[in-house]
Amino acid sequence: MIVTIVGLGLIGGSMAIDLKRCAFASTIYGVDSNKEHCQKAIELELVDAIKPMDEAIWAADLAILAIPVDAILKTLPEALNHISKNSVITDVGSTKYEIIQSIKDHPKRSRYVAAHPMAGTEYSGPEAAIKNLFQEKVCIICDKEKSDEDAIESVEKMFRALYMEPLYMNAKDHDTHAAYVSHISHISSFILASTVLDKEKSSKTIFDMASGGFASTVRLAKSSPKMWAPIFKQNNENIVEVLETYIKKMEDFKDFIKNDDKEGLLKMMEKANEIKRIIK
Amino acid sequence: MIVTIVGLGLIGGSMAIDLKRCAFASTIYGVDSNKEHCQKAIELELVDAIKPMDEAIWAADLAILAIPVDAILKTLPEALNHISKNSVITDVGSTKYEIIQSIKDHPKRSRYVAAHPMAGTEYSGPEAAIKNLFQEKVCIICDKEKSDEDAIESVEKMFRALYMEPLYMNAKDHDTHAAYVSHISHISSFILASTVLDKEKSSKTIFDMASGGFASTVRLAKSSPKMWAPIFKQNNENIVEVLETYIKKMEDFKDFIKNDDKEGLLKMMEKANEIKRIIK
């Protein structure tokens, strides 16, 4: 199977590594608007060849858009124009509703499968690509009924080859759940980094004290702003809603501390502790 | 050397494991008000024997208080009363100012060394004790000049045996830095867990989507409320101050998203990205 990957960063590159290793892809064509990324992807042997977008899409049995969600909005209709009749196009964007809306009337809509593999690290670019990134993680497939059956099968087969478990949701639900769990985690981490850098002027102190739990809590704040800003924009309503809850709870917590309300404080922390039941 | 550890939880238990392994301690006596913890500590061979507090302190060359900071406030003066002339007492509390204030006029003040080893996990109790917990981490020693030189040496030697690097600060600075880096991380994680549990009603969805960065960001929310509430209380002024900055930044971030202020959003995230320079 010929696989084309548009976007040779962390996600696209990591998919390339494993789709080749497991022999799902016989050939992988890479596309990237960044010439250095293209060169690096060849050097690292992530892809067999770099091709211009139209040509690479046309040649593909399966094309994957692994680019930021604003770029997916722009690229997807054009890519659908160039996909050949029996081929399939999918994406890996962290938002789904707006992307699906943008091609809802496209004559080849049914050759597109909207997907979101829930995996990543805080790093970006082709050098960040690693093997086994997707193993045992979940891949969400949205609005399944709008895609041809064989297109869904083809994409499921690819994700199963990466040892992912497919889950099905409609796009609206996906975006809500993504805001409630994943997007808020990134924002909480960005704000933590921003606060600590603002209050604590000594880099050495931050470094020395990071083992007190800061390092893992702040990890996501290293994520790419160019990738995340468009996600926050496309999912703004859900995110603003969850941020309002977050801020309200943070205000309450501050008041408990300020007013030495031990009971309120303990109750809120014990409630938060319930996350143990879910995340081991 | 006979070491007495008061509090056989994650920290006390992990110290016991390594102080015995590296032969720093020839005998370890354990003290804990929780009988199940005492029994477990014997079963797990964390300590050689359980003794009543007074007896165990009296027998010790070095006594370590590894209990919550409110319990340290109560126990330290009493423990100092029972420590023998050439022995030393230290603690591992996450706050230092109030603890040091509480014994500042104690006749044996100089036999106490105020310490804070910056290491831990989100788990608690004797079963949570692990080896190598402290390796390559920093241990902060406060108000060094108030302790006898040989007492400082003895405590430094112990932390070095755990492969920790000692750092020196005054207690006020310690508490400020701890609030700015460690304590805020825990609060941010508690609020994240609390928000996600509130907004996302499906445990399965939380579990499935946790790989999108949620799991590591929320890790500290599993921490023990009974250990953390007294830390927040003792360090309330610093914490309220840093929370005010945190909330202000979160409000700004929400407004950037709400008003589609791409530039403001990118700028704030790029600033947060600078944490990469410090935490690799």
DSSP string covering chain A, please? -EEEEE--SHHHHHHHHHHHHTTS-SEEEEE-S-HHHHHHHHHTTS-SEE--HHHHHHH-SEEEE-S-HHHHHHHHHHHHHHS-TT-EEEE--S--HHHHHHTTT-TTGGGEEEEEE----S--SGGG--TTSSTT-EEEEE-GGGS-HHHHHHHHHHHHHTT-EEEEE-HHHHHHHHIIIIIHHHHHHHHHHHHHHHH---HHHHHHHTTTTHHHHHGGGGS-HHHHHHHHHHTHHHHHHHHHHHHHHHHHHHHHHHTT-HHHHHHHHHHHHTHHHH--
Task: Enumerate residues 67 to 96 of chain A having a beta carbon within 8 A of any beta carbon in chain B.
Answer: 94
- B234 and B250 Cβ atoms separated by less than 8 Å: no
> For residue B164, what is the DSSP state?
P
A164 and A178: one domain? Answer: no
The count of structural domains within chain B is 2
Report which of A63, A102, A66, A104 is spatially closest to residue A82, judged by C-alpha positions.
A63
Question: Are residues A236 and B260, on separate chains, in Cβ contact within 8 Å?
Answer: yes
A97 and A41: one domain? Answer: yes
- Residue B211 has a pLDDT of 79
- B246 and A191 Cβ atoms separated by less than 8 Å: yes
B42 and B116: one domain? Answer: yes
- Residue B280 has a pLDDT of 84
Question: Are residues B214 and A278, on separate chains, in Cβ contact within 8 Å?
Answer: no
B159 and B45: one domain? Answer: yes
Q: Any idea what the CATH number is for the domain that residue A187 is in?
A: 1.10.3660.10
Nearest residue, CB atoms, B191 vs list A118, A180, A246? A246
Chain B touched by A138 (CB under 8 Å) = yes
A44 and A156: one domain? Answer: yes
A119 and A190: one domain? Answer: no
A126 and A191: one domain? Answer: no
A130 and A199: one domain? Answer: no
Q: Among B141, B169, B197, identify where a domain stops.
A: B169
User: Helix, strand or coil for residue B117?
Assistant: strand
A130 and A226: one domain? Answer: no
- A37 and A125 Cβ atoms separated by less than 8 Å: yes
Cα–Cα distance between A220 and A144 in angstroms, integer?
30
Give the model confidence (pLDDT) of A61-112 as tens digits: 999 999 999 999 999 999 999 999 999 999 999 999 999 999 999 999 999 9
- Domain span at B162: 2-169
Q: Among A169, A200, A215, identify where a domain stops.
A: A169
Question: Are residues B278 and A206, on separate chains, in Cβ contact within 8 Å?
Answer: yes
Give the model confidence (pLDDT) of A125-183 as tens digits: 999 999 999 999 999 999 999 999 999 999 999 999 999 999 999 999 999 999 999 99
Element (H, E) at B85: none
Tens of pLDDT, residue by residue, chain B (280 residues) = 999 999 999 999 999 999 999 999 999 999 999 999 999 999 999 999 999 999 999 999 999 999 999 999 999 999 999 999 999 999 999 999 999 999 999 999 999 999 999 999 999 999 999 999 999 999 999 999 999 999 999 999 999 999 999 999 999 999 999 999 999 999 999 999 999 999 999 999 998 888 778 999 999 999 999 999 999 999 999 999 999 999 999 999 999 999 999 999 999 999 999 999 999 8
Q: Any idea what the CATH number is for the domain that residue B48 is in?
A: 3.40.50.720
Q: Which residues of A touch B229 (CB under 8 A)?
A: 262, 265-266, 269
Give the model confidence (pLDDT) of B42-86 as tens digits: 999 999 999 999 999 999 999 999 999 999 999 999 999 999 999
A104 and A213: one domain? Answer: no
Mean pLDDT, range A233-243, rounded to an integer: 98
Number of H helices, E strands in chain B: 14, 8
Question: Are residues B225 and A275, on separate chains, in Cβ contact within 8 Å?
Answer: no
B164 and B199: one domain? Answer: no
A149 and A198: one domain? Answer: no
Inter-chain contacts counted by CB atoms under 8 A, chains A and B: 303
Q: Among A111, A138, A169, identify where a domain stops.
A: A169
